[in-house]
């Protein structure tokens, strides 16, 4: 009897020390990964979305990296990401390259953004027309005195060429939306790899002018009010002026998938368009997209 009692005690202790099937299965298991890469404009927003979504869906893991719109689209074409972030639409040559590999990129508008033109807070210039900004960046104006400022050289700052913001600014501002216009950035324009680089340079350089997504502009820099043409009203970028189309440098932001999204990627994209996710858009200084209600059956 003593041996039986001792044997039963040992069995009890072993069962108490070993993990049960119930306790093991109760732990959340990572079952799906989403690779998300591209636009540096979108990266902070994408990180905030990923953090919120993962907290609500612990079985999904989302990797978010920047590198520029071109980098994200190239990764999509190469099959290394599920979602490519872009602050511009896919180029014709990128689309052709994708289709040659049997990939059909699908575009989804996920937010809107204003591009703010920024200067040092001690720069007395507060208003510019689109044409004046084009003339600054193309090299026609080289001194702030030519546009109502002090006798100082203009230092032009831009994002690098793989940036969707760079492409958008070139097409919308330097070329004024004219597809036949071949104006280029002045050759002495400083190309910087990040929003932070432009902001830091303007903070320490009274002569500098740059541009950036509104959500990235800190309060200690001056934002220029912009007029579409001479004699038009000067408008500062904001959610309201983007929505009413009075601010002239505003754009849609995109995510691209290789074909129609399915599974966890489709569910994530659907959540991004939800009021919860779009509230994060507004919180970070971007412009939520207006959602069209689905009619009742």
> What's the helix, strand, coil split of the chain in %, to 5?
40, 25, 40
pLDDT confidence of residue 290: 61
Share of the chain above pLDDT 70, in %: 87
Contact partners, residue 158, CB within 8 Å, separation at least 6: 137, 166, 169, 185, 189, 190, 191, 192, 198, 210, 211
Residues 123-144 have a mean pLDDT of 98
pLDDT confidence of residue 6: 44
Q: Which is it for the CA torsion 119, 125, 127, 133, positive or negative?
A: negative
Q: Is 127 helix (H, G, I), strand (E, B) or coil?
A: strand
Tokens 């071949």 correspond to 182
CB-based burial label for 284 (10 Å; 0-12, 13-18, 19+): middle
Degrees, nearest 5: CA angle 29-268-271: 120
- Rounded CA-CA distance 140/132 in Å is 9
210 forms beta bridges with 118
pLDDT at 8 over 60: no
Q: Predicted confidence band at 201 (pLDDT cuts at 50, 70, 90)?
A: very high
Share of the chain above pLDDT 90, in %: 81
pLDDT confidence of residue 29: 60
Residues 256-282 have a mean pLDDT of 96
pLDDT confidence of residue 285: 87
- Rounded CA-CA distance 158/76 in Å is 25
Residues 236-242 have a mean pLDDT of 92
Q: Produce one character per residue of 50-84: b if its CB has 16 or more CB atoms within 10 Å, e if not.
A: beebeeebeebebebbbbbbbbbbbbbbeeebbbb
CB-based burial label for 178 (10 Å; 0-12, 13-18, 19+): exposed
pLDDT tens per residue, range 79-94: 999 999 999 999 999 9
pLDDT confidence of residue 239: 87
DSSP structure class, residue 41: H
- DSSP assignment of 149-213: S-S-B-EEEEE-TT-HHHHHHIIIIISTT-TT------TTPEEESSHHHHHHHHHH-TTEEEEEE
- Rounded CA-CA distance 144/209 in Å is 10
Sorted by where each starts, the structural domains of the chain and their CATH numbers stand as 32-112+252-283 (3.40.190.10), 113-250 (3.40.190.10)
pLDDT at 250 over 80: yes
- Rounded CA-CA distance 99/42 in Å is 25
């Amino acid at each position: 009897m003593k041996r039986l009692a001792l044997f039963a005690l040992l069995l009890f202790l072993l069962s108490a020390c070993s993990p049960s099937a119930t306790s093991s299965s109760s732990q959340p298991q990572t079952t799906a990964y989403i690779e998300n890469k591209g636009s540096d404009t979108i990266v902070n927003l994408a990180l905030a979305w990923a953090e919120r979504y993962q907290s609500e869906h612990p079985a999904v893991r989302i990797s978010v990296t920047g590198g520029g719109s071109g980098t994200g689209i190239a990764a999509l074409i190469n099959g290394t990401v599920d979602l490519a972030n872009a602050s511009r639409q896919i180029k014709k040559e990128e689309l052709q390259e994708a289709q040659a590999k049997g990939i059909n990129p699908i575009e989804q508008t996920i937010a809107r953004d204003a591009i703010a033109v920024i200067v040092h807070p001690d720069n007395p210039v507060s208003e510019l027309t689109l044409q004046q900004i084009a003339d600054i960046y193309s090299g026609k104006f080289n001194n702030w005195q030519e546009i109502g400022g002090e006798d100082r050289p203009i230092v032009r700052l831009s994002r690098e060429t793989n940036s969707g913001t760079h492409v958008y600014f070139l097409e919308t501002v330097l070329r004024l939306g004219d597809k036949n216009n071949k104006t280029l950035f002045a050759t002495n324009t400083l190309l910087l790899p990040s929003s932070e680089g432009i902001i830091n340079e303007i903070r320490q350089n009274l002569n500098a002018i740059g541009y950036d997504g509104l959500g990235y502009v800190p309060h200690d820099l001056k934002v220029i009010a912009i007029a579409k043409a001479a004699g038009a009203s000067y408008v500062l970028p904001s959610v309201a002026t983007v929505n009413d189309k009075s601010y002239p440098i505003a754009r849609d932001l995109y995510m691209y998938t290789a074909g129609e999204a399915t599974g966890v990627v489709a569910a994530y994209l659907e959540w991004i368009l939800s009021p919860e996710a779009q509230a994060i858009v507004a919180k970070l200084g971007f412009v939520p997209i207006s959602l069209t209600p689905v009619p009742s059956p």
